[in-house]
Amino acid sequence: MSEDSRASTGEATQVDSLDEVFSSLGDETRLEILLELAAVASDQGIGEGLGFAALRERVGVTDSGRFNYHLGKLTGRFVTKRGDSYVARWPALMLVAAIRAGQYDDTDLTPERATTEFTCHRCDRALEVRFESGTLGAGVLMYCPEHGGMDDYRFPPGVRSGRSAREAMRVAYTRLLENVRLARRGICMECWGRVSTDYVPDTPDTESEYEHQLEGQIFVQFACERCWNQFGVPVRTYVGTYPVVAAAFRKRGYQQLEATDAMTAERGITCEDMLVQEDPRRVSVRIGFDDETLVLTLDEGCSVVDHEWC
């Protein structure tokens, strides 16, 4: 059996059994149980739980038979017994994390905007950030009041709570770069699957204003081979996740996000990327600091295979 057909057979079986898994969650009391057990894990440690009576009390169900029925529906996949304690398993904890992030909130983000410390790469204006509920869900958008959108990212409403607009924007930006960092090592941030990396052949053919503005820059495109995770970034953003580049910026006092901003907007540095060979494809990125220039060479698989200082 080929790997492909094995994967698709696996998927069909999985959907069958998932039907049962998700229907076991379709009840308020059961979700309350998971939230309470996750709270215990948070307070006392992962793997810690509660006895039947204590758990029933925390969930607030008086009828012990009814509570036992609901708990039984979760036991196995989501909850396990350790001695006399009921303990949340990873599938329960991951579900609660998604709930806490606000992934399933039906309330939308309050539209809000704030000025960031980052600058537009076409003018000197500070970029603004806007939180908004789009067609696909809540998102965060960085944009120049004059030149339009620069970057956007999905943004579950839970990210915003307890954080200022600027902090929340930095969280989204940092996570985007983590996604790049993992993807370039072939790991999907969403499903842990394998990610393939390629150059965008020419100028990205999309209606996005952002990409039109970056016309002429080389882009790297990531696609998870298993889930939906796929995105493109300018090659200069991509190389910024390599330790040699990060260290060069750190030495000069730049934090991660400031370094990315400096490369995109060419503030305080110069940055030049070019295709130096077509077949096999070789790309060169030159980052000019005050005192010296870092030249990176990327191979056809978008890996940095060489760097030199000159």
List interacting residues with Zn ion (CB under 5 A): 120, 122-123, 144, 146-147, 188, 190-191, 193, 224, 226-227, 229
CB of 272 to Zn ion, least distance (A): 21
Distances (CA, A) of 21 to 192, 223, 252: 21, 28, 52
Residues whose CB falls within 8 Å of the CB of residue 22, separated by 6 or more in sequence, listed in order: none
What six digits make up the tokens of 90? 């990873």
In the complex with Zn ion, the residue whose CB is nearer, 158 or 186, is 186
CB of 194 to Zn ion, least distance (A): 8
- Is the CB of residue 225 less than 8 Å from the CB of residue 193? yes
Site of tokens 């990409």: 211
CB of 146 to Zn ion, least distance (A): 5
CB of 151 to Zn ion, least distance (A): 13
Q: Which residues pair with 195 in a beta bridge?
A: 224
Residue 102 and residue 220: Cα distance in Å, rounded?
A: 30
CB of 226 to Zn ion, least distance (A): 5
CB of 238 to Zn ion, least distance (A): 18
In the complex with Zn ion, the residue whose CB is nearer, 90 or 162, is 90
State the DSSP H helix or E strand holding residue 230, giving kind and residue range, or none if neither: strand 230-234
In the complex with Zn ion, the residue whose CB is nearer, 110 or 115, is 115
CB of 149 to Zn ion, least distance (A): 11
SS3 content of the chain, % helix, strand, coil (to 5): 40, 30, 35
In the complex with Zn ion, the residue whose CB is nearer, 163 or 194, is 194
Residue 118 and residue 262: Cα distance in Å, rounded?
A: 9
Residues whose CB falls within 8 Å of the CB of residue 140, separated by 6 or more in sequence, listed in order: 129, 130, 131, 132, 152, 153, 155, 168, 169, 172
In the complex with Zn ion, the residue whose CB is nearer, 67 or 173, is 173
What six digits make up the tokens of 190? 């969403």
In the complex with Zn ion, the residue whose CB is nearer, 91 or 193, is 193
- Is the CB of residue 159 less than 8 Å from the CB of residue 172? yes
* Cα atoms found within 13 Å of the Cα of residue 192, Cβ hemisphere only: 0
In the complex with Zn ion, the residue whose CB is nearer, 206 or 230, is 230
In the complex with Zn ion, the residue whose CB is nearer, 147 or 307, is 147
CB of 229 to Zn ion, least distance (A): 4
